């Protein structure tokens, strides 16, 4: 059994960025998160795919240490498909086409074993009603979740119910503002914290992230890449690596959270350095650690006396 169960989308993405284009490549929130988490723990991906999902992709995921025991291939269905593009401001994804396909259905809960509690559960971006259904089925010690603007607008009730049961919640700047109607990010984080999760991470893309945990704040930068080729999956890799590390150390104390988020931003920097999941595939713990130490040095503030 995996130490971290990840529920999220598995997608085939057709996308273009200023640096190139790719057709029907691996994508999806759950998939990026699982690959990143697998750097630290056994990560099990819970999701559904269609008949059209290429077998070589499955082999690749297994090679990378992602458990596919709960990945359900549904006959007569097609895999979730997304087509979009990014302009030079790669913080903004422009969607041209979304086909929910197999993900239009509720999660195949029957594929999960009865009376099984993974240590951690990461609910990557999905319909919050489906996220809640997965959460109710498991009894994890640690619950993290991500969301998107669509659900804040259309499924606020379910999202609030989910928030009340999370330990760690990830959102980006726009989502934090939409959820709280608060422009200031620190105030937004405090409001989200009141909705349930003791730890709130607001992701700011190339500008890094803000963590509010209990009453402590941590400001972390993004790794300063000179060339980002494809931002797809950056946030999911961030959450996946962070939760993978937290389940590996089985701690949510402040230092563990800081290390987890910095590892998350480092994993995300590898993700965006190439298209689709390519940047994550050859990644080792040694490379992650080297970039962690580099980023630690880039933000190190000397002591001061006046």
Instruction: Provide the minimum distance between the beta carbon of 23 and a copy of itself in the complex, in angstroms, as a whole number.
Output: 25
117 counts as binding a copy of itself under rule CB under 8 A? no
Backbone angles phi, psi at 191, to 5 degrees: -65, -40
Tell me how far the alpha carbon of residue 303 is from its chain's centroid.
35
Among candidate residues 24, 29, 36, 33, the one with its CA nearest the CA of residue 9: 29
Identify the residue whose tokens are 């995921």. 61
x/- map, 224-243, a copy of itself, by CB under 8 A? xxxxx---------------
Please list, in sequence order, all residues whose beta carbon lies within 8 angstroms of the beta carbon of residue 26, skipping any fewer than 6 positions away.
11, 12, 13, 57, 60, 276, 277
Least distance from a copy of itself to the Cβ atom of residue 165, Å: 27
Mark the segment that binds a copy of itself (CB under 8 A) among 67-75, 102-110, 139-147, 218-226: 218-226
Q: In the range 161-200, which residues lie near a copy of itself by CB under 8 A?
A: 183-187
CA dihedral sign of residues 261, 221, 9, 213: positive
111 contacts a copy of itself (rule: CB under 8 A): no
Crossing angle for the helix pair 254-272 and 29-37, to the nearest 10 degrees: 120
The region that residue 189 occupies, defined by phi over 0 for left and psi between -120 and 50 for alpha, beta otherwise, is alpha
**Shortest Å, Cβ 304 to a copy of itself:** 5
Contact with a copy of itself (CB under 8 A) among 88, 97, 115, 215 = 88
Task: Determine which residue in the list 1, 104, 150, 289 makes contact with a copy of itself, applying CB under 8 A.
Answer: 289
Sign of CA dihedral 40, 265, 62, 286: negative
The single residue among 1, 117, 150, 298 that binds a copy of itself, judged by CB under 8 A, is 298
From residue 242 to residue 281, the character string flagging contacts with a copy of itself as x (rule: CB under 8 A) and all else as - is: -------------x--xx--xx------------------
The H or E element spanning position 163 is helix 156-163
Residue 31 tokens read as 């998939």
Give least dist CB 209 to a copy of itself, A.
10
Regarding 218 and contact with a copy of itself (CB under 8 A), the answer is: yes
Residues of this chain that bind a copy of itself (CB under 8 A)? 88-89, 183-187, 204, 206-208, 210, 217-221, 224-228, 255, 258-259, 262-263, 285, 288-289, 292-293, 295-296, 298-306
């Amino acid at each position: 059994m995996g130490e971290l169960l990840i529920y999220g989308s598995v997608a085939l993405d057709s996308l273009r960025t200023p640096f190139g284009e790719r057709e029907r490549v691996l994508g999806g929130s759950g998939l990026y998160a699982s690959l990143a988490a697998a750097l630290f723990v056994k990560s099990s991906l819970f999701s559904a795919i269609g008949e059209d999902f290429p077998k070589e992709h499955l082999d690749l995921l297994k090679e990378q240490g992602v458990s596919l025991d709960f990945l359900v291939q549904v006959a007569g269905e097609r895999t979730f498909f997304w087509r979009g593009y990014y302009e030079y401001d790669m913080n903004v994804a422009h969607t041209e086409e979304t086909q929910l396909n197999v993900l239009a259905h509720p999660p195949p809960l029957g594929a999960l074993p009865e009376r099984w509690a993974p240590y951690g559960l990461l609910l990557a971006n999905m319909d919050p009603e489906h996220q809640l259904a997965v959460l109710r089925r498991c009894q994890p010690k640690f619950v993290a979740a991500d969301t998107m603007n669509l659900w804040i607008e259309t499924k606020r009730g379910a999202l609030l119910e989910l928030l009340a049961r999370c330990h760690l919640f990830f959102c980006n700047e726009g989502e934090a503002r939409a959820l709280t109607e608060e422009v200031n990010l620190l105030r937004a984080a405090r409001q989200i914290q009141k909705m349930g999760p003791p730890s709130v991470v607001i992701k700011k893309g190339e500008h890094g992230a803000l963590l509010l945990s209990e009453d402590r704040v941590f400001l972390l930068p993004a790794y300063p890449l000179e060339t980002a080729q494809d931002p797809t999956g950056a946030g999911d890799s961030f959450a996946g690596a962070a939760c993978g590390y937290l389940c590996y150390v089985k701690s949510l104390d402040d230092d563990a959270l800081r290390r987890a988020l910095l590892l998350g931003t480092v994993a995300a920097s590898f993700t965006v350095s190439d298209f689709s999941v390519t940047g994550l595939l050859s990644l080792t713990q040694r490379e992650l650690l080297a970039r962690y130490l580099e980023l630690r040095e880039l933000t190190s503030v000397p002591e001061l006396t006046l």
